[in-house]
Structure formats: C-alpha cells, structure tokens
Amino acid sequence: MAIKFVPEKNLFILTTQNTEYQIRADKYGVLKHVWYGMRTDCDMEYLLDYPQVGCTGSIYEAGNDRTYSLDTLPQEYSCAGVGDFRISAVAATHQNGSSALDLRYKTHSITKGKYSVPGLPSVYEGGRSADTLEITLKDTATDTEVTLKYGVFEEPDIITRCAVIRNPGSAPITLTKAASVCLDIRGGNWEWMHFHGRPTMERQVERVPLFHGIQESSSVRGTSSHHQNPSVILCETDCTETCGSCIGAAMVYSGACQTAVELDKLNQVRLIMGIHPELFRWELKPGEEFNTPEAILSYSSSGFDTLSRNFHKIIRENVCRGKYKLSERPVLINNWEATYFDFDEEKIIKIAEQAAALGVDMLVLDDGWFGKRDDDCSGLGDWFVNKSKLPCGLDGLGKKIRALGLKFGIWIEPEMVSEDSDLYRAHPDWAIIIPGRKPMRGRYQLVLDMSNPDVRDYLYDSISRIIRDCGAVYIKWDMNRSICDRYSHCLPPANQGELSHRYVLGLYELLEKLTTDFPDVLFEGCSAGGGRFDAGMLYYCPQIWCSDNTDAYDRAKIQYGTSFFYPVSSVGSHVSAVPNHQTGRKTPIETRAVTAMAGSFGYELDLNTLSETEKEAVKEQIIRYKKYRHLIHNGSYHRLSDPLADNYAVWEFVSDDKSEALVHGMVVRTEPNMISCTVRLRGLAPDLEYRLDGTEGVYTGNALMNGGILLPETVGDYAPVELHFVKSEE
C-alpha cells in the first residue's frame, strides 16, 4: 500500500516512488498538512512552527494558547469564516444566513485502487497500481461533511485530489466555494509559473517571484481558456529544467477555474485550485452531495524535466482513453487554411487527391459544410449538409474520399447556435441569454445551454447521424467563444449560479455518450485553437488542436509552454502555407515539418499549390514522421532550450530503452560569423555509444549529456534542426 496510517500519531503518509505527502489530524481534530516533498521516512511535524502572531485568533478549545491558530498552521482544506484569514478552499452559507465551516476529522478509509468522480473526468488506474485515501471531516456546528479524496500512483510520482461535500442535515446549504486542492507549503523560497496567453498565442510561460498577498491565474470564460491554463508550477528560485524543487498542479476540468497562490505573513505559500468561485453557487439540499473536479499533483526535486515527464505519463496513459490513446494517429489534411468557407466538392476532392498521392491518411472537412454557412455569421446548429456546396451529400463525399484511399473526418461546433439558423428560430430558449437583455455576440454566435437535456439529446442525435451517414472516423469538436449572459431556462432563479458548472457536466455527459457509442472515432478537441486545452477534455479527446497559429516559430513557443503538462501526442499540429496566414512570416517547409512533428501531425494547406520540390519534401516528411512517430509519442520528451530566451528552439525525444534519440527544432536567426550553439541532450544512457545519423560521429551518452553537440551551421532564418542518434552497434 502506498498509503499508511500511523494511529498513535494520527498521521497519514502517502508515498510514491520518490515523494511523500503527510497529513495529520491533530489533538483538536484539525487536519493539518505536514509535508509534500521528497521521501523522508520521518514524521515531518518537527518542521511546523507555532509562532505567536497578533490579530489571528485561536480556536475555542485552544483557550489562551496563542500559538495555535488556523491562520498560521498549514491546513489540508482551509475553511472560510472560522479564523483562517488566508484564501479558503471551501465556503458555505447555512439556512440562518451565516457562512462558516469548521471541519474536524471524523473518519477515514484506505482502499486499493483509484476512486473515480461521478459525472466528471478523472485519472484512472489503467494498469498502474493506485490506492485511495478518503478522510471525512465534519463541521463542528452543523451536519455538513467533507470527504477529501487522494489517489496515489507510486509511479510516476502522482497524487490526485478532489473533495466531496455532503449535506446529511435537514436544511439546505449553499456552497459558494468548493476547491479541489488546498496545498500549504512551509519553508523555501518559491516562485510560480503559469501559462497565460490569448487566441493564437496560447500557453506562454511566465515565471515570477511571489509577492505577499494573493496572485491568481484564472478563467471566468466558461472554458479553461486561451488566457490562463488551469495548470501551475510552484518552484524554488534555483529550480531549472534539471535540478531543484517544483510542484505541478493541473485541473482535470474544462470550465471556469481559479488557481490562487498566497504568500502569507509567515512566508508560507498556499495554493488553492478549483472551480472559479465567482461563477459558482450550488444548493445542497438535505441528503445531497457535491463532487469537485479532480486535480493532479506531482513533486520533483530534479527540476521541470522530471515534473513534465510525470504529467506526460499520467495524462497520456491514465487520463486519455479509447482506441487512439496509445495507438498511431493518422496523418491528416485539414482544408481550413486551404479554403476557409470557400469550397465545393470539386475543390475538396482536388485537395484530397493530392494528399493521397503524397501519403496523407485522412481528409478532415472543416467549417462550412452545413446549413447556411458561407461565413461565420449564420448556420451553426443546423447540422445538415449544404447541398449547393456538396451536391452528393456528406455520405457521397465520404465515399469519394475513401475511394482515394483516405479516411474521412469532419468538423463540428456542437455547443453553439447562430441567431440566423433554423435551430435558433425553433428553440430560442436553448441559447444562453438573459431574458430582456441583448446578448454579447462572439463570432456572431450564441452558446447552447448544455445543462438542458433536450439540447444534449438534439446534439447526440445530430452528431451520431453525421458519423453514421458519412462514415466519419474523426470529429474535430470546436468551441469558438467565451460564455457570458448566463441564464438557463432550465434552472429556477435561485439556482442560476449553478449554470457554469452544470454546463461543463452536460458537455462531459454528451462526450461520454458519444465516445462510448463510437469507440472507433478519434475525437479532437478545439476551441478557437487551444482555448480548451486541459486534462478534462483530454479524457474524451486524446488530442487537441493546439493553436490557430500555425507559424512554425510561434508554434515552437506555444508548444514549449504546452509541454510543461501535456504530452506530445495530445498536441494537434499541422504544416501550413507561407507566408503564414497569421503572421505573414516565411519559414522553410522543413522547419514547419519538424515543428508540427512534435505532436499529432498533419497538413493545413492546399498541397496542389506547392512546387514539385515541395511536394517531394512533403512525401518524404510523412515517411519520416511515420518512422519516428513511435519515438515521438511513446518516448520521453525533453525541452533543450527556452525559445522565449534563446536563439534556438530545440527539443528531444528519447526512446524508453534509450537506444534512440531525436533532436528537432530550429535556429531562429542566422548571423554572419556565428558563434555556434551547443545543446546538451538529456535522458540518454550515460555509457552507451550513439551514432549520429548521416555522419561518422559516435559519442557516448555522457558526452552528449554533459558536453552536448554543436548545432549544424545554418543558412537563413528559422533554419531546421534534425539530429537522429542511434545506439552504435560497433
């Protein structure tokens, strides 16, 4: 068992291969957080400090003991209203209008296997060994109970957390906050890294020192958002890719999220992560319970490289599901940047013919194939083929595509409706708008109320009909606006505050049904690019379109940020045309290819417009990607540079048996008389000898990891880098 309870000390010890997490129910029943870090095999309580701090207050039972304060001691799940004045994890209003919870230890259980979260995605065992700890706490003055759940995966050093809040009493209570994680850290000098951005520049890395007070990274957009990803790293100031302490946390949730970090008066750090309280009120009637979404935690004492690998493993192998989770993804051609809305059957077939000739596996028909949809002002919701564009229908097109030897996939944006659509005319009350108020329009579209079962039924019927009719084996599931004007016709006025979370629950229910009923279909997530790139969506869609920015140089930076938590296989990434449609930049086709290969690879242009030399290059890239695909998706991934700071962006894939390594990337700017760049590899076997493909060079793993390798001389800007090392047989 990875979980131990020491009764004489009321101490819970959660142990993974390298890390340890300790919790104690103290003499007052208060659940204290004692330790999260490397394994110590020692009760770490000795590090807790009991200073006298003015103006904080002690719990009633502590009498005049001014050193015992909820406001200074590390808490496992901090409550609002009872004297811990730092950020709280949970807040509830009782029938008499008071808002307080004072949770104390009641009971616990330790079981083999990993818990699941009803109605929500969560990490599952998937062949790994995992154990569950549940600690139930009870409010001192009411019947309210909270069960904290911990899933412990010894390998790869992962602990998951969530909470269940229960109302066994006779009066309703209203939850106003229900976080998934509260983590208090004592000692050390901490900074935080978060992943901010905007559409077409998602997940930019920002690492900053903590200031005293609360800093947060959050989304109130109804999706996890382009702007602040629901993931965070706390790291000590000296932490680098390869050394130093860091803690990562990622939500398995796709809705409004808040990650708040407080540096308190005693220089202690508190991390609170969960559903954003601004969009959350939840009525718990007598006998009901509320399950928070799950968060994944990992600790590394050897820097970000190890931390990321832990997250890559658990998300790829124990969050992603279905036929495609580990299997090879098709190389696809998507027509969006080739045609936008301006296409007909002939154009699509021409693109498909060329793609088939060059070795592509699948054609994906993007936006514009349905309803009245010649631009983005109308048609969403009318999921019936537009016969003026596709006279043979979707089934006819599907057949023609398959006759060319390609699989067929299709774009859809289920959660949306255009005002100018038959669906909206028939069901205006299905859209999220506040009666009597003009709605905000995003891309001229409104959001459907996913908490409404009729909406979900309509979407299930539409999507399953499309899949059956045209034999689609891939669905690109898009979502192109943020949610506001929150009002649901299905909820009474007092419960409107539940809509934000109920929307996400409805979305998950629909995805669960579709992915179960169509196990052979590969679902790719998308939200105006990478606006909903999170572990929640990855539970249903093993890959997500990473960004609408397909410029190789920008993509290297976006994929760099994405790589801190999310595995390479989850990153949808395509080669597009130059000048790039988003930036106007020209990068060599080889650079675009190596960048897109750090993901689930494809093309997003009309291949007919390429020169013969470029077509040959595409053919060869597809062969090369297929040769390396196993290494890229199943190997370990290492960031070898910081593209936000360095003149080169390079990354490395190493096979599990360490017999092979592939370095890909680009030199950003070539200078005259250039000082050569040395890159140190990682993850190799120190004593093995590696041959650099295409050269006579043989190097030991030690040489490549400690000394490194010179990047080849380059010509021009954004010059591609590819170095393939294989174990030398000599």
The verdict on 480 binding ligand DGJ (CB under 6 A) reads yes
Nearer to ligand DGJ, 260 or 360 (CB): 360
The verdict on 562 binding ligand DGJ (CB under 6 A) reads no
Q: Which amino acid is at 84?
A: D
Describe the strand order of the beta sheet including 3-6 as a list of residue ranges: 3-6, 11-15, 19-25, 31-38
Q: Is 396 exposed, middle or buried (0-12, 13-18, 19+ CB in 10 A)?
A: middle
The nearest distance, CB 479 to ligand DGJ, in angstroms, is 9
- Write out the DSSP string of 253-291: --SSEEEEEEE-TTS-EEEEEEE-GGG--EEE-TT-EEE
* Active-site choice (294, 534, 554, 590): 534
The verdict on 551 binding ligand DGJ (CB under 6 A) reads no
Verify whether residue 614 is a known catalytic residue: yes
Verify whether residue 671 is a known catalytic residue: no
Nearer to ligand DGJ, 74 or 379 (CB): 379
Q: Which residue is nearest to ligand DGJ (CB)?
A: 367
Residue 428 sits at φ, ψ, to 5 deg, of -60, -25
Q: Which amino acid is at 567?
A: P
Q: What span, in angstroms and rounded, lies between the C-alpha atoms of 650 and 553?
A: 11
The verdict on 366 binding ligand DGJ (CB under 6 A) reads yes
Size of the site for ligand DGJ (CB under 6 A): 11
- Pairing between strand 31-38 and 90-93? unpaired
The nearest distance, CB 569 to ligand DGJ, in angstroms, is 19
Q: What span, in angstroms and rounded, lies between the C-alpha atoms of 38 and 298?
A: 11
Q: Residue 94 gets which letter from DSSP? A: -
Q: Single out the residue of 71, 367, 419, 449 in contact with ligand DGJ (rule: CB under 6 A).
A: 367
The verdict on 545 binding ligand DGJ (CB under 6 A) reads yes
Q: What span, in angstroms and rounded, lies between the C-alpha atoms of 157 and 391?
A: 55
Instruction: Check: CB of residue 640 under 8 Å from CB of residue 570.
Output: no
The nearest distance, CB 530 to ligand DGJ, in angstroms, is 8
Q: Which amino acid is at 683?
A: G
Nearer to ligand DGJ, 374 or 512 (CB): 374
CA distances from 346 to 398, 412, 472 (A): 13, 21, 19
The verdict on 478 binding ligand DGJ (CB under 6 A) reads yes
Contacts by 65-73 with C-beta closer than 8 Å and gap 24+?
A: 68/28, 70/30, 72/266, 72/268, 73/30, 73/32, 73/48
Q: What span, in angstroms and rounded, lies between the C-alpha atoms of 167 and 174?
A: 10
Crossing angle of the two packed helices 453-470 and 499-517, in degrees rounded to 10:
30
Label residues 213-252 b or e (16+ Cβ within 10 Å = b): eebbbbbbbbbbbbbbbbbbbbbbeebebeebbbbbbbbb
Q: Residue 563 gets which letter from DSSP? A: T
The nearest distance, CB 528 to ligand DGJ, in angstroms, is 5
The nearest distance, CB 135 to ligand DGJ, in angstroms, is 42
What is the rounded radius of gyration, in angstroms, for the C-alpha atoms of the chain?
Answer: 27
Nearer to ligand DGJ, 75 or 576 (CB): 576
Q: Residue 426 gets which letter from DSSP? A: H
The nearest distance, CB 411 to ligand DGJ, in angstroms, is 5
**Residues 496-535 close enough to bind ligand DGJ by CB under 6 A:** 526, 528-529
The nearest distance, CB 50 to ligand DGJ, in angstroms, is 53
The nearest distance, CB 527 to ligand DGJ, in angstroms, is 7
Nearer to ligand DGJ, 361 or 478 (CB): 478
Nearer to ligand DGJ, 131 or 524 (CB): 524
The nearest distance, CB 355 to ligand DGJ, in angstroms, is 17
The verdict on 433 binding ligand DGJ (CB under 6 A) reads no
Q: Single out the residue of 102, 154, 548, 554 in contact with ligand DGJ (rule: CB under 6 A).
A: 548
The verdict on 311 binding ligand DGJ (CB under 6 A) reads no
Nearer to ligand DGJ, 70 or 466 (CB): 466
H or E element: which one contains 672?
Answer: none
* Length of the chain (residues): 730
* Active-site choice (375, 461, 614, 656): 614
Nearer to ligand DGJ, 154 or 478 (CB): 478
Nearer to ligand DGJ, 333 or 662 (CB): 333
Quickly list H helices, 518-654.
Answer: 535-538, 552-562, 589-597, 612-634
**Residues 328-357 close enough to bind ligand DGJ by CB under 6 A:** 336
Binding mask 407-426 for ligand DGJ (x = CB under 6 A): ----x---------------
Catalytic residues: 534, 614
Q: Which residues bind ligand DGJ (CB under 6 A)?
A: 336, 366-367, 411, 478, 480, 526, 528-529, 545, 548
